[in-house]
Amino acid sequence: MRVSTNVAVAAALAVLTGGVLAGCGLTAPEDDSIVHKRSLVIGVKADQPGLGLKKGDRYEGYDVDVATYVAGKLGVPPERITFRTTPSSEREKALRDGKVDMIFATYSITPKRKTQVTFGGPYYVAHQDTLVREGEKAVTGVRDLKGRRICAVTGSNSWKRVTEERKVAAAPVEAADYGDCLAKLSAGQVDAISTDDLILAGMASTGAAVRMVNAPFTDEKYGVGLRKGDLAGCEAVNRALTEMYQDGKAGELLDRWFARSKLRTVRSVPQFEGCS
């Protein structure tokens, strides 16, 4: 008799404690969001002057500074941020595998990428533009590239936007990377480089004798790559970016990295993509 009631009470207690544990499990659905992280690993480029450039064991550039600002708004101070070089081809995988928590690396938002990555931002809308030698006055827009030699970086799509999408009959000249392009432009081996204006402005700010044409013809939305499904993180990133523009920090950073290039930058918050 007593045994049976004791068993009943024990069973009830067991069920109840089990319930407490189950209850805790149910109330924390967004635990792996970046908003709960104490430290962050952020993927950046290592070879783009003005945006993400590795110098020794430090990274510098606009992307790096924006990432630091956003991480700060998420409650992670600079000493708890680890930057990691993330080449274009590995960005989706690095996020999926959890190798990086966020990516700030001239990462354009496209409908296709959105199926694999949740994008905060964009933090800047770059535009494809043209860079020419300083004395070159005849080029005022992409159409003027007809008959001229443009730099074609292996694996990049930018030059195709001129020759294939816009059907401007320019002559592509192959180059290994944009550093190579800049050298070829200075040496007179190509007449123009056509790619995102921030990338061009970063190169122009290195002191080369070049000129920004300031005739944009596409929109490239630089987004903050997040693990697919981290909506809370995405919303927090968007709020941080809104603040960055409201408090003038965005303009300050754009000046710091691109003012020398005489690029006309936009100092108003970009239209966000929406978290999905």
- Nearest residue (CB) to other proteins, 22 versus 187: 22
- Nearest residue (CB) to other proteins, 6 versus 82: 6
Q: What secondary structure does DSSP assign to 55-84, as a single string?
A: ETTEEESHHHHHHHHHHHHTT--GGGEEEE
- Gap between the Cα atoms of 155 and 238, Å rounded: 31
- Gap between the Cα atoms of 63 and 108, Å rounded: 13
| CB contact at 8 A, 236 and 35 | yes
- Nearest residue (CB) to other proteins, 142 versus 204: 142
- Nearest residue (CB) to other proteins, 12 versus 176: 12
Which of helix, strand or coil describes residue 231?
helix
Least distance (Å) between residue 247 CB and other proteins: 10
Least distance (Å) between residue 197 CB and other proteins: 13
Least distance (Å) between residue 248 CB and other proteins: 12
Element containing residue 131 per DSSP (H, E):
strand 128-133
54-78 exposure pattern, b = at least 16 Cβ within 10 A, e = fewer: beeeebbbbbbbbbbbbbeebebee
Backbone angles phi, psi at 262, to 5 degrees: 60, 30
- Nearest residue (CB) to other proteins, 37 versus 161: 161
- Chain residues that interact with other proteins, rule: CB under 8 A: 1, 4-5, 8-9, 11-12, 15-16, 18-19, 22-23, 26-27, 29-30, 111-112, 114-115, 141-143, 160-161, 164-166, 216-219, 231-232, 235, 238-239, 242-243, 246, 266, 268-272, 274-276
- Nearest residue (CB) to other proteins, 27 versus 154: 27
Least distance (Å) between residue 16 CB and other proteins: 6
Least distance (Å) between residue 237 CB and other proteins: 11
- Nearest residue (CB) to other proteins, 35 versus 41: 35
Which residues have a Cβ under 8 Å from the Cβ of 266 and sit 6 or more positions away? 124, 125
Least distance (Å) between residue 111 CB and other proteins: 4
Least distance (Å) between residue 70 CB and other proteins: 15
Place of tokens 């123009």: 192
In the numeric block, which tokens belong to residue 88? 């274009």
CA contacts within 13 A on the Cβ side of 204 = 28
- Gap between the Cα atoms of 85 and 128, Å rounded: 24
Which of helix, strand or coil describes residue 170?
coil
